[in-house]
Structure 1
Amino acid sequence: MQTNPLHAVKTAYDKALALSRQGDVAQAAGLLDGLALQTPNLPEIHFQRARLAARLGDQDKRLSSIDRALELRPSEPAILTEAIAAHSLAGHHDTVLSLFDRLIALNPKAIKPQAEKALYLQTAGRFDDSENLLRKLQKKHPYDAELYRMLATTIRIQPNDPMIGAMRRLANHPKLSPQGRMHINFALAKAMEDTKTTAKVFPHLKIANKAQAELWPDDPNTRNAERDGVLAAQKGLAQIAESSGTDPALIFVTGLPRSGTTLAEQIIASHSKVHAGGEMATALRTAYDLFGAGAEMRPLANEPQDRLKDFATRLNSAIHPFANPAKTHLTDKSIMAYLIYGLLHATLPNARFIVVHRDPRDIALSIYKNHFSAGTHRYANDLAAIAEVIKSFRQIIAHWRDTLPDRFAEVRYEDLVSDPETQSKHLIAAAGLDWEDQCLNFHEKGGTVKTLSLHQVRQPIYKSSAAAWRRYETDLQPFIDAWGDTPWD
């Protein structure tokens, strides 16, 4: 009995997807590679090959596969979206913007792809184009509060900007949703700060953070259990033998949100041997996948050596999509990586660890002023909770300072902005690299930046944000009270 070729292809395709769901990505990818040779004109196969290649860290295969899928089915939204993600990671700005235009053309009335294009223009450093697009969208959609917040975060609003009046009208709209109330009040707080109407900043911030807290409530017990469980799991962990680390070598740049980690990363990434990975989040995810997540993490000192070596191997694969093959080092500024510094130190002998500190009052102010991705940093909505998180962070860093014998360095944001040359040299040395003068001109580098601080890192180092908390000392009193008698430095 003759087998139907299309039926055989579908059977193999379904098996590949099932293997992928079960976590056997390499075998799934192998099956799809064979199908791509057998039936090269099926876009679904190339689309799935691209997605699996991303998980395996094969950026070249991801790009070639998604481009082939797009060639075969140029108007499929899912394929266009995956192509945007792949080329964004590769830093192909012109290609990404062209893909956004194709996606927008499929549904010109949809707000989301146009807003995402505006955000990508910011990532690419084209702030004027981004502003023009967002203002155009605002005129068409005057009741979309998120558009105002997007624009407010990346421009300095002037007192006569008609956007202020539009935002005030929207803030008082009786049918404004909780999300809308959050977005518009964050935007109005920024407008009041830009126009030096300081007394009105915190009233808007309180409304914004209250709405955000209602949408994504904080759970300090869960947060503390994760911290304590992960730290306890690393007790007694010694450096494993015969580990070569990752290629490229990782430079972890960690600190609390809004502490200056983006500035530090961009200075280091201006070095000819370094590529900026940004907030990759690969290290903690890999650790949780292998050893248990958060409070459930198993004691690592009891884990077999091969299991710890497997962590380094898997992490090496996970970072490849973020790396530049021409660079020997890759920065990772994932916020939570500091939780597993013990594991990273033990398994990655070529890794470096840099911690950025900043005045806790400035960190608290900046965290409270900013909207983070939905559901992340839930403590950010409460000044007393922010105080507890900062104190916890400092205690953990003190532990690593005493525990890690080498490759660990610290820098203060205030020192970096007041004496950039000396502190930049300190950063480059801490990264294990020789000094290059171009590291002082990081703002001229260009490239892709994905962070709330992306506008600042396109500028030379400036001091205006240091001690900004003094303008809001009365409003910050709940934070100061919760800080208690803990030293500020």
Structure 2
Amino acid sequence: MTTAQNIQFQFQQARQAYARGAWAEALAACDRLQRQVGRSEEVLNLRAMSLLALDRGPEAAATLREALKRKPNSAGMNLNAARIDLALGNPKGAKRHAMTAARAASNDARVLYQAALLCRQCGDYPTALRLVDRCQAREPGLSDAWYLKGSMLLDQGDADNAAIQFEQALAHNPANARAMADLARLRGELDKDDRLMVMLEGMATRGRETWARSCALFALADLRARAGDAEAAAALYQRANELGNQVRPFNFDAWLRQQDETLSAYMDLVPQGAPGHGNGAGLVFLVGMPRSGTSLCEQVLAGHPDVLAAGELHAMAAIETLAARGNTDESLRRHYIEALPADHGRYRLTTDKLPMNFERVGLIHRLFPGARFIHCTRHPLDVVLSCYQQDFQAGVKWAFSLDRIAQVYQAQDRLMKHWKEKLPEHITEVRYEDLVGDLPATASALTTFLGIEPDDAMLAPEAIDRTVQTASRLQVREAVHTRSVDKWRAYEDLLAPAIERLGDLIPAPGK
């Protein structure tokens, strides 16, 4: 083997390591290659994405910037730069790189699809829809493009046209597991002989990729749950989560240590200002466990003309990393403000409903002492069950184990009790059971906390026309109901590990 062939062989091995999720191995291979052949843009590009996968976003950004200096119009590297910008909470930079890629490869349907996907993640739906239309014009048979358009329509509440797009996705690729699953959920109840049911069962047992089998199992479980067959649904959810855990490995012990470190770092936290005044006076953070009602709570607030509901912003997670690297508070504040929607200045209040910001309340208060927090809570077993029932393969990494979900709930409870003790005037609590059980009273309490006048539109959240990307995008368009209260009771046997773990955190019956 010649030297050139050996280098190419090593590079292919690095790419294969990255593809199978061995990111540390891929990074080490890239570093070896750099010592042998220098810092070529191809190696820099792979090194950057390996760093990103290892949650080393700032290093990834610096590495890819170096690669882009050599090939500024590379479509592939600009797409990767956009992905890194999104991970660092910089949607404006992400869109800029996505559009550079789309211009550089304007006739490449796959690049246009990826650019559309990234623009959707940036929240720019008009641009994303235009890009996906261009993609479909160039390659009508690209199933993923039909699925993406359907997903965007569903985000916007257009379920009928979303279903048409999902049907087209399946017509072009009958093995498109996500289109199959979302179409089944839209259709609701399926008979055993239904075409979709047959397709889902086939994918669940014979799908080539682990994530696709898991996706199909989650959809089948949802259908069984809707039919009231909790026993069959529980078995399917277990199988789906076992596969999901293989797809999304997560260093849970490291995450738990980080929560201990956060608590220690802010043990002596004292209020730096009054809520609603000074830096961050117009910022409202909805925090708590995923599936605790944050989406519905934000949808209620979105009905008020003085509130901009910005959805789940990932900027603060990136800022936490930058803070650990020694960035100044002023630069961190600027980073967050630049990540807000462009029109946020037109509103008195802007909400950020990334639930996991419960980890960062101390940091947020340090940067924005005028910011307020709404802690969304729900019966712990309903939270655990709802997380376990959700296909979080593209999101929450710890939600594939009942015991892990329960441990996250414990960590959240401990941190929020600390934040409330230290910042009692900055934080209010909204119980999901109160939100759905007495919406007028809960909405009134929220407006009082936020210093705004009540508005009748807040009492009909299902009628509010806005884009919702979260897992609750279908539920927030339903009239408020109490059907999801105490759902856990039908799954008590399944939840045994969580019940044992949570212990005294489970409220007594009737509370």
TM range (shorter): 0.7 to 0.9
Partner of 1:168: 201
Report the residue type matching 1:340 in the other structure.
Answer: R
Unaligned runs of 5+ in 2: 1-58
Cα-to-partner distance string for 1:76-109 (whole Å, 9 max, x where unaligned): 554674466447745544x533321211222222
The alpha-carbon distance between structure 1 residues 291 and 218, as it changes in their structure 2 partners (threshold 3 A), is closer
Q: Secondary structure at the match of 2:344?
A: coil
Cα-to-partner distance string for 1:312-366 (whole Å, 9 max, x where unaligned): 2332223245x53422321111122111212222331331100010011111111
The alpha-carbon distance between structure 1 residues 167 and 409, as it changes in their structure 2 partners (threshold 3 A), is same
Distance 1:66 1:197 in 2: 45
Partner of 2:503: 484
Distance 2:168 2:294 in 1: 33
Distance 1:231 1:287 in 2: 14
Match for residue 434 of structure 2 among 412, 415, 434: 415
Q: After alignment, is 406-415 or 335-344 more displaced?
A: 335-344
Partner of 1:9: none
The alpha-carbon distance between structure 1 residues 418 and 85, as it changes in their structure 2 partners (threshold 3 A), is same
Report the residue type matching 1:180 in the other structure.
Answer: A
Match for residue 253 of structure 1 among 286, 291, 297: 286
Distance 2:123 2:506 in 1: 44
Partner of 1:396: 415
Q: Is the 8 A contact 1:158 1:194 kept in 2?
A: no
Q: Is the 8 A contact 1:183 1:208 kept in 2?
A: yes
Q: Is the 8 A contact 1:159 1:195 kept in 2?
A: no
Q: Is the 8 A contact 1:275 1:330 kept in 2?
A: yes
Q: Secondary structure at the match of 2:340?
A: helix
Q: After alignment, is 452-461 or 159-168 more displaced?
A: 159-168
Q: Is the 8 A contact 1:414 1:466 kept in 2?
A: yes
Partner of 2:472: 453
Report the residue type matching 1:130 in the other structure.
Answer: A
Q: Secondary structure at the match of 2:312?
A: coil
Query: In the TM superposition, what is the alpha-carbon distance from 1:446 to its structure 2 partner?
Result: 1.0
Distance 1:69 1:193 in 2: 43
Partner of 1:318: 339
Q: How does 1:51-450 map to 2 (within 5 A)?
A: 74-75=106-107, 78=111, 81-82=114-115, 85-86=118-119, 89=122, 92-93=125-126, 95-159=127-191, 161-173=194-206, 176-239=208-271, 244-246=278-280, 249-292=282-325, 307-321=328-342, 323-374=343-394, 376-450=395-469
Query: In the TM superposition, what is the alpha-carbon distance from 1:125 to its structure 2 partner?
Result: 1.1
Distance 1:434 1:182 in 2: 46
Cα-to-partner distance string for 1:251-275 (whole Å, 9 max, x where unaligned): 1001111111000011112111111
Query: In the TM superposition, what is the alpha-carbon distance from 1:440 to its structure 2 partner?
Result: 1.1
Seq. identity, %: 25
Query: In the TM superposition, what is the alpha-carbon distance from 1:132 to its structure 2 partner?
Result: 2.0
- How many pairs are equivalent? 441
Report the residue type matching 2:139 in the other structure.
Answer: N
Q: Secondary structure at the match of 2:376?
A: strand
Distance 2:451 2:266 in 1: 25
Distance 1:310 1:62 in 2: 19
Distance 2:498 2:91 in 1: 45
Cα-to-partner distance string for 1:409-467 (whole Å, 9 max, x where unaligned): 00100011010100011122223322111111222121211101001111221111111
Distance 1:23 1:405 in 2: 43
Q: Is the 8 A contact 1:352 1:432 kept in 2?
A: no
Q: Secondary structure at the match of 1:415?
A: helix
The alpha-carbon distance between structure 1 residues 85 and 384, as it changes in their structure 2 partners (threshold 3 A), is closer
Q: Is the 8 A contact 1:182 1:209 kept in 2?
A: yes
Q: Is the 8 A contact 1:57 1:320 kept in 2?
A: no
Distance 1:355 1:418 in 2: 17
Give TM-score, length-normalised by structure 2.
0.76
Distance 1:365 1:56 in 2: 29
Distance 2:205 2:64 in 1: 52
The alpha-carbon distance between structure 1 residues 105 and 428, as it changes in their structure 2 partners (threshold 3 A), is same
Q: Is the 8 A contact 1:354 1:411 kept in 2?
A: yes
Give TM-score, length-normalised by structure 1.
0.79
The alpha-carbon distance between structure 1 residues 392 and 240, as it changes in their structure 2 partners (threshold 3 A), is closer
Report the residue type matching 1:274 in the other structure.
Answer: V
Partner of 2:485: 466
Aligned Cα root-mean-square deviation (Å): 3.7
Unaligned runs of 5+ in 1: 1-18, 26-30, 32-41, 293-297, 299-305
Query: In the TM superposition, what is the alpha-carbon distance from 1:240 to its structure 2 partner?
Result: 5.2
Q: Is the 8 A contact 1:149 1:183 kept in 2?
A: yes
Q: Secondary structure at the match of 2:411?
A: helix
Distance 2:347 2:203 in 1: 48
Q: Is the 8 A contact 1:368 1:383 kept in 2?
A: yes
Q: After alignment, is 65-74 or 463-472 more displaced?
A: 65-74
